[in-house]
């Protein structure tokens, strides 16, 4: 799957810059990328290794160079914690501890306070320095930092106003949007894996368009929402009338701690709630809850309870219990997205990439929420990217500098 460093020279070295680089998702993704590059791990969970996606002509996992921003923590410590709670194999962490420390040394202090020009410039400079230092084709910025509360004020800004208020030091931007601003200015495509605001405001959408940059989001679809995107179409195509869909999630870990704060949880339950109605086309009652249970660690357990009507009004029920390891589900998707968005950038795609809705709870640039339909859209798009690559005269993997 990955290039063998000793034989083939790296052709498209690509930066993967994590916002929240020392969190569980980023650490698991970093560990996995290192393990895969050394052939220490199977490709389980990596959508981008399935033939229908790989044909897009993606950068190799071994061509990824990881860095990022964070405001606390340590990748090595986080990796040990993840091993202790069974998320990643302890042996893999032990074997790759030095490489993890190398990545950790590349992590720069993030931003969390006011949104001003100086901070924006500093964040941009960090990304540019990373690209230069490692001689990278491009750097994809992936937001996997703690979920923020909704930020309604940011939506009203024009790009001009935003620029002015950054100068004033009064820009009403949450950190995720300040990062997105800096990333775009650094020429980087952005993946918004959290439900935070990020690039999803008019001012930044305009900026991305102006700079001809692709971006993708929002909020990785890894557990209960994945199930909803899978199951709701079954009810729709069987003409069964869903009457209620109740969804309860319990989890510990860093994400669980963050979401124990109702303000942060509001962003998450909003993206979680949209799938069922979007697929069915009619309103469906039922709570969506996330509760913090420290004992579960990174293991999120979701219970969904669905009532529906069948023929002649007969009432029926379905329940699902999902016991997934959130970081293990999210980490490969983060690598998939980095590879796909890098490819989109390479071939000149601009703006929100709706074809990547398969990966997101709230698919920007697309109204489709049914998983199988999203899969078809994705793979058709990948086929097109692959054809583009072949038209360039190489089979599936572009030579260095080809795009």
Ligand X SMILES: NC(=O)c1ccc[n+]([C@@H]2O[C@H](COP(=O)([O-])OP(=O)(O)OC[C@H]3O[C@@H](n4cnc5c(N)ncnc54)[C@H](O)[C@@H]3O)[C@@H](O)[C@H]2O)c1
Which residues 358-377 are close enough to bind its own copies by CB under 8 A?
358, 370-373, 375-376
At 50, give phi and psi (nearest 5°): -70, 140
| CB contact at 8 A, 236 and 279 | yes
3-state helix, strand, coil in the chain (%, to 5): 50, 20, 35
Number of Cβ atoms within 10 Å of the Cβ of 52:
15
As a whole number of angstroms, the distance between CA 108 and CA 153 comes to 28
Closest CA to 52 of 355, 400, 398, 391: 355
Backbone angles phi, psi at 163, to 5 degrees: -60, -45
Helix boundaries (H) for 169-201: 175-185
Binding partner of 289, given its own copies, ligand X, Na ion, none, CB within 5-8 angstroms per partner class? its own copies
Choose the binding region for ligand X from 88-96, 183-191, 250-258, 365-373 (rule: CB under 6 A). 250-258
> Closest Cα to residue 353, out of 13, 121, 56?
56
- The helix (run of H) or strand (run of E) holding residue 326 is helix 326-346
| Under rule CB under 8 A, residue 227 binds its own copies | yes
299: Cα within 13 Å, side-chain hemisphere:
11
CB of 325 to ligand X, least distance (A): 9
Binding mask 189-228 for ligand X (x = CB under 6 A): ----xx------------------------xx-x------
Among Na ion, ligand X, its own copies, none, residue 286 binds (CB under 5-8 Å by kind): its own copies
- Does 146 bind ligand X (CB under 6 A)? Our answer is yes
Of 227, 265, 329, 340, which one interacts with ligand X (CB under 6 A)? 329
DSSP 87: S
- Three-class SS state of 402: coil
**Token pair of 115, please?**
């949104």
Residue 85 sits in the site that holds ligand X (CB under 6 A)? no
Contact string 267-286 vs its own copies (x = CB under 8 A): ------------------xx
Query: Which position's Cβ is nearest ligand X?
Result: 23
Closer CB to Na ion, 92 or 176, in the complex:
176
Asked if 291 is part of the footprint of its own copies (rule: CB under 8 A), the reply reads yes
Give the position of tokens 């790759």: 96
Q: Of 100, 25, 35, nearest to 67 (Cα)?
A: 100
- Contacts (Cβ under 8 Å, ≥6 apart) of 277: 283, 284
Question: What is d(CA 56, CA 344) in angstroms, rounded to the nearest whole number?
Answer: 9
Q: Is 323 in the site for its own copies (CB under 8 A)?
A: yes
Give the x-and-dash track for 94-113 against ligand X (CB under 6 A): ----------------xxx-
Interaction residues for Na ion, span 358-377 (CB under 5 A)? 363
Q: Is 332 in the site for ligand X (CB under 6 A)?
A: no
**What mask of x and - would describe binding to ligand X in positions 304 to 323, judged by CB under 6 A?**
--------------------
Distance from C-alpha of 289 to C-alpha of 255, rounded to nearest angstrom:
14
Task: Write down the H helix ranges in 193-223.
Answer: 202-210
**Contact criterion met (CB below 8 Å) for 97 and 76:** yes
Cβ–Cβ under 8 Å, residues 195 and 267: yes
Among 7, 132, 283, 312, binds its own copies (CB under 8 A): 312
- Of 163 and 375, the one with the shorter C-beta distance to its own copies is 375
- Which region among 23-31, 151-159, 210-218, 382-390 touches ligand X (by CB under 6 A)? 23-31
Q: What string marks each residue from 341 to 380 as x (binds ligand X by CB under 6 A) or -?
A: ----------------------------------------
Chosen residue from 240, 266, 278, 347 binding its own copies by CB under 8 A:
240
DSSP, collapsed to helix, strand or coil, labels residue 370 as coil
70 binds ligand X (CB under 6 A): yes
Q: Which of 319, 391, 393, 401 binds its own copies (CB under 8 A)?
A: 319
Q: Which is nearer to Na ion, 32 or 363 (CB)?
A: 363
Among ligand X, Na ion, its own copies, none, the one that 114 touches (CB under a kind-dependent 5 to 8 A) is none
What residue ranges bind ligand X (CB under 6 A)?
A: 19-20, 22-25, 69-73, 110-112, 144-147, 175, 193-194, 219-220, 222, 253-255, 258, 326-327, 329-330
């Amino acid at each position: 799957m990955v290039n063998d460093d000793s034989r083939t020279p790296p052709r498209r070295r690509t930066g993967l810059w994590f916002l929240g680089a020392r969190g569980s998702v980023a650490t698991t993704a970093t560990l996995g990328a290192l393990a895969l590059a050394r052939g220490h791990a199977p490709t389980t969970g990596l959508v981008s290794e399935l033939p229908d996606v790989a044909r897009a002509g993606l950068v190799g996992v071994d061509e990824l160079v990881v860095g990022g921003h964070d405001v606390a923590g340590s990748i090595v410590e986080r990796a040990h914690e993840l091993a202790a709670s069974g998320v990643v194999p302890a042996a893999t962490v032990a074997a790759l501890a030095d490489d993890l420390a190398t990545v950790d040394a590349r992590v720069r202090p993030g931003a969390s306070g006011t949104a001003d020009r100086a901070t924006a410039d500093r964040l941009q400079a960090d990304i540019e320095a990373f690209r230069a230092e490692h001689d990278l084709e491009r750097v994809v910025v992936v937001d996997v930092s703690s979920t923020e509360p909704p930020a309604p004020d940011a939506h009203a800004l024009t790009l001009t106003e935003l620029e002015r208020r950054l100068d004033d030091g009064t820009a009403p931007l949450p950190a995720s949007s300040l990062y997105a601003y800096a990333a775009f200015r650094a020429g980087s495509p952005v993946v918004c894996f959290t439900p935070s605001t990020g690039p999803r405001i008019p001012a930044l959408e305009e900026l991305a368009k102006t700079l001809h940059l692709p971006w993708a989001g929002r909020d990785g679809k890894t557990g209960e929402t994945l199930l909803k995107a899978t199951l709701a179409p079954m009810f729709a195509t069987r003409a069964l009338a869903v009457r209620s869909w109740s969804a309860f999630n319990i989890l510990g870990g860093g994400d669980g701690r963050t979401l124990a704060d109702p303000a942060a949880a509001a962003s998450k339950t909003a993206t979680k709630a949209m799938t069922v109605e979007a697929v069915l086309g009619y309103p469906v009652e039922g709570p969506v809850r996330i509760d913090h249970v420290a004992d579960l660690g990174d293991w999120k357990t979701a219970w969904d309870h669905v009532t529906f009507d069948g023929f002649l009004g007969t009432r029926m029920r379905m329940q699902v219990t999902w016991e997934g390891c959130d970081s293990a589900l999210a980490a490969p998707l983060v690598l998939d997205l980095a590879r796909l968005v890098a490819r989109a950038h390479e071939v000149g795609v601009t703006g929100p990439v709706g074809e990547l809705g398969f990966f997101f709870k709230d698919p920007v640039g697309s109204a489709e929420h049914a998983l199988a339909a999203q899969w078809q859209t994705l793979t058709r798009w990948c086929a097109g990217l692959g054809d583009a690559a072949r038209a360039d005269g190489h089979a599936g993997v572009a030579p260095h500098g080809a795009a």
